[in-house]
Amino acid sequence: MPHKSPRTKLIATLGPASAERETLAAMFDAGVDVCRINFSHGSPEQHECLLASVRELAKERDMPIAVVGDLCGPKIRLNRVAGGSAELLVGATLRITRGDDDCTPERLTTTLPDLIDDVGVGHRVYIDDGLVRLLVTDQSADALTCSVTVGGTISTRKGVNLPDSGLSVPALTDKDRRDLVWAIEHELDFVALSFVRRPADLYELKDLIREHGGDVGVIVKIEKVEALEHLDELIGASDAVLVARGDLGVELDIWQVPMIQKAITARCREVGVPVIIATQMLQSMVHSPMPTRAEVSDVANAIIDAADAVMLSAETAVGDYPVATVDMMTKTSQVAEAYLVQGPHAATRYIAQRSHTAAPDEVHGVRGLSIPDAAAARSAVSPNISATHPRASAIAHAAVQAARDVNARLVAVWSATGRTARLVAKHRLPVPVVGLSYNERVCRQMNLLYGVIPILVKPIANPAEMADVLDVTLIRRGLAKPGDLIVVVTSTQPETPGATDTTLVHRVGEPGQPRDVSP
Q: Facing residues of 134 across strands?
A: 125, 148
36 counts as catalytic: yes
The answer to whether residues 228 and 260 touch, using CB atoms and an 8 Å cutoff, is yes
Q: Which helix (H) or strand (E) holds 411?
A: strand 411-414
Rounded Cα distance between 160 and 110, Å, is 8
Residues 6+ apart with CB under 8 A from 478: 2, 3
Pairing of strands 85-88, 152-155: antiparallel
User: Which of 7, 124, 133, 221 is an active site residue?
Assistant: 221
Beta carbons within 8 Å of 488's beta carbon, 6+ residues apart: 399, 411, 412, 413, 414, 466, 467, 470, 502, 503, 504, 505, 506
CA–CA separation, 194 vs 222, rounded Å?
8
For residue 388, how many other CB atoms are within 10 A of its CB?
Answer: 13
458 a catalytic residue = no
Round to whole Å and give the CA distance between 91 and 150. 8
Name, in order, each residue with C-beta under 8 angstroms of 332's C-beta and a sequence gap of 6 or more: 296, 299, 300, 303
Question: What are the respective helix, strand and coil percentages of the chain, to the nearest 5?
Answer: 40, 20, 40
**Out of 4, 55, 75, 77, which one is annotated catalytic?**
77
Question: Cβ(103)–Cβ(227) under 8 Å?
Answer: no
Neighbours of 20 (CB within 10 A): 12
Displacement of CA 409 from its chain's centroid (Å): 27
Identify the active-site residue in 8, 173, 279, 500: 279
Say if CB 315 and CB 332 are below 8 A apart. Answer: no
Beta-strand relationship, 9-13 and 502-507: unpaired
End-to-end CA distance of the chain: 15
Bond preceding residue 6 cis, omega within 30 of 0? yes
The answer to whether 316 touches 13, Cβ cutoff 8 Å, is: yes
Q: Rounded to the nearest 10 degrees, how much is the dihedral formed by the CA atoms of 193, 196, 198, 201?
A: -40
Contact 136, 121 (CB under 8 A): yes
The residue annotated as part of the active site, out of 36, 245, 269, 422, is 36
Neighbours of 425 (CB within 10 A): 26
For the annotated catalytic residues, the residue numbers are 36, 77, 221, 279
